[in-house]
């Protein structure tokens, strides 16, 4: 029996075990997964693929709330982003193996990503966990603007290589620059130059941020971006995604979002978010987000 026939047989068996309502949701998710197989095209104005991606992720997040396994939606997210990046292979970038300048700045991550990465860290043992906690202690007192003035390497950076490369956050997957020398000066706080980021990568990152936000909100989960060291430290204290969801029942007093309010409780208690407001017009009391600031930070 060929691969397609085996897949179809498994699909039929799965549908037999489900109620009509569950079967309808399952069919929709399978169709959506096929729709996003080649990733979101940042050059396209068609919203069908981003909508399909949001639906599929939302369904998987709801399933994760039931099973406690956060890996399926995170895997779909990363697989789809990888497809998008492959589609941008003709865009010239200076990034290459061993180029780690952007690993010294603030990195944003969503709660599901942090929880998924934490599972990998736990398997590596106490030494790696302690590196994460130490990095958090070194950076916890810096807000976003101050962090750009105090470069610190990612605790998972080893000899200028990402030690969790296959599981790295979505912002890292879509980070790109046209000039590594400018990155070296900027990320190490030597100059304050704006980074020459390819428009297609920036557009793709924005699209996936919107998709992730929509999926999490629709699933009734916190949808903000958190600082990586803080998020990972808290995630390491969380047993499972099901336990993390319990945080939705209470609102921790020190949970801050981009505009300084607390619209919803967070499963990773004590973590501040990106700390930046949406782009505002001049005179609103906040300066616009510069390309330098926007590389690995999502504003939601």
Indicate if the pLDDT at residue 46 is higher than 60. Answer: yes
Distance (Å, rounded) from C-alpha 185 to C-alpha 187? 6
pLDDT at position 88 is 96
pLDDT at position 135 is 96
pLDDT at position 222 is 87
pLDDT one-digit tens code per residue, 141-167: 998 888 889 999 999 999 999 999 999
| Better-predicted residue by pLDDT, 221 or 295 | 221
- What CA dihedral angle connects 73, 91, 50 and 74, to 10 degrees? 10
Share of the chain above pLDDT 90, in %: 61
pLDDT at position 178 is 94
Mean pLDDT of 284-290: 33
Indicate if the pLDDT at residue 262 is higher than 50. Answer: no
Dihedral sign, Cα of residue 81, residue 247, residue 18, residue 215: negative
Distance (Å, rounded) from C-alpha 158 to C-alpha 98? 10
SS (H, E, C) 122-155: HHHCHHHHHHHHHHHHHHCCCCHHHHHCCCCCCC
Q: Which two tokens stand for residue 131?
A: 């590196």
| Better-predicted residue by pLDDT, 200 or 243 | 200
pLDDT at position 295 is 52
| Better-predicted residue by pLDDT, 214 or 252 | 214
State the pTM of this model: 0.79
pLDDT one-digit tens code per residue, 108-137: 999 999 999 999 999 999 999 999 999 999
């Amino acid at each position: 029996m060929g691969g397609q026939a085996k897949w179809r047989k498994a699909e039929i068996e799965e549908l037999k075990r489900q109620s009509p309502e569950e079967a309808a949701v399952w069919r929709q998710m399978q169709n959506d997964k096929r729709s996003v197989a080649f990733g979101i095209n940042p050059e396209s104005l068609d919203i069908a693929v981003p909508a399909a991606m949001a639906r599929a992720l939302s369904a998987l997040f709801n399933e994760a709330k039931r099973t406690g396994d956060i890996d399926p939606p995170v895997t779909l997210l990363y697989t789809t982003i990888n497809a998008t990046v492959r589609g941008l292979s003709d865009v010239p970038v200076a990034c290459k193996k061993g180029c780690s300048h952007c690993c010294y700045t603030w990195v944003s991550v969503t709660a599901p990503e942090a929880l998924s990465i934490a599972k990998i860290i736990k398997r590596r043992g106490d030494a790696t966990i302690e590196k994460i906690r130490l990095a958090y202690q070194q950076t916890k007192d810096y807000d976003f603007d101050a962090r750009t003035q105090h470069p610190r390497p990612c605790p998972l950076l080893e000899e200028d290589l990402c030690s969790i490369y296959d599981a790295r956050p979505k912002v890292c997957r879509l980070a790109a620059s046209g000039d590594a020398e400018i990155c070296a000066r900027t990320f190490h706080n030597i100059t304050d130059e704006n980074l020459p980021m390819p428009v297609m990568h920036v557009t793709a990152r924005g699209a996936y941020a919107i998709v992730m936000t929509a999926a999490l909100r629709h699933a009734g989960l916190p949808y903000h971006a958190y600082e990586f060291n803080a998020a990972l430290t808290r995630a390491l204290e969380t047993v499972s995604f099901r336990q993390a969801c319990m945080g939705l029942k209470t609102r921790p007093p020190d949970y801050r979002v981009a505009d300084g309010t607390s619209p919803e409780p967070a499963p990773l208690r004590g973590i501040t978010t990106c700390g930046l407001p949406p782009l505002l017009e001049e005179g609103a009391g906040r300066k616009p987000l510069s390309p330098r600031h926007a590389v690995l930070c999502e504003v939601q």
